[in-house]
Amino acid sequence: MARLVLASASPRRKELLARLGVRFDVRPVEIAEDAGPSKDPQIVARRLACAKAEAARLTDEHAPILAGDTVVALGGRIFGKPANGAEAREMLRTLRGRTHDVVTAVAVVPLGRRSVIVRHPLTAVTMREYSDAEIEASIARGDPLDKAGAYGIQDELLHPAERYEGCYCSVIGLSLWATIEALRKAGEEVDVESVDFLPQCAACPLARP
């Protein structure tokens, strides 16, 4: 069986995919991650995840492909990865105390096919009222710079989220349940009994037997 190709440089996607117990190789692709004219986070995430998967297919024609993209959105604005500390500061201040949407689309190209299977769960995240000093400490650590919206929900130091509704690991960077569904649809075997789920996965609205 050909090994799955993860077309992503995200260490969080790599760690989450490894929890499924599937064998895979990491081969990131470079695309222009421009949100484009749409302000719908589901449309943007789907388009970018599919673009990554299709780009990976050009170089890996004989393996199944998995790609993902995370989009943070609030009030019609798409929050990408901050380019620097100033952008991270502005994003974290804007999101503070408010509820926003996070969509991580997972796109799978099955072996021997060009069609793309996409899942794109949406999670509503409400941020707590963290202080400016906490923002500055997070920036000093370099934590926000590789994350959409400038934060990680799993960050135990900033602890940015007060609550969430939806899939927790999708906010981290890859929904385990959505990925299982997409891989199975693509003909890839995933033994749910052997998956190393996060504790939050038990209450996930996407959970399937």
Distance CA 104, CA 123 (A): 9
Give the chain's domains with CATH numbers: 4-191 (3.90.950.10)
Distance CA 15, CA 52 (A): 19
pLDDT at position 148: 94
Instruction: Pick the closest to residue 66 from 180, 204, 146, 171 (CA basis).
Output: 180
Q: What angle do CA 186, 125, 191 make, to 5 degrees?
A: 30
Instruction: Pick the closest to residue 71 from 149, 129, 14, 2 (CA basis).
Output: 149
Pick the catalytic residue: 60, 69, 101, 143? 69
The residue written with tokens 């998956």 in the block is 195
pLDDT at position 35: 65
Instruction: Pick the closest to residue 134 from 100, 88, 170 (CA basis).
Output: 88
Backbone phi, psi, residue 56, to 5°: -65, -35
pLDDT at position 71: 95
Reported as type and span, the H/E element at residue 78 is: strand 77-79
The pLDDT averaged over each successive group of 10 residues in the chain (209 residues) is 89 96 94 76 95 92 94 94 96 98 97 89 98 98 95 97 98 97 93 95 90
Is the whole model's pTM more than 0.85, yes or no? yes
- Tell me, rounded to whole angstroms, the distance of Cα 203 from its chain centroid: 19
pLDDT at position 41: 94
- Tell me, rounded to whole angstroms, the distance of Cα 91 from its chain centroid: 18
The question of whether 69 is a catalytic residue gets the answer yes
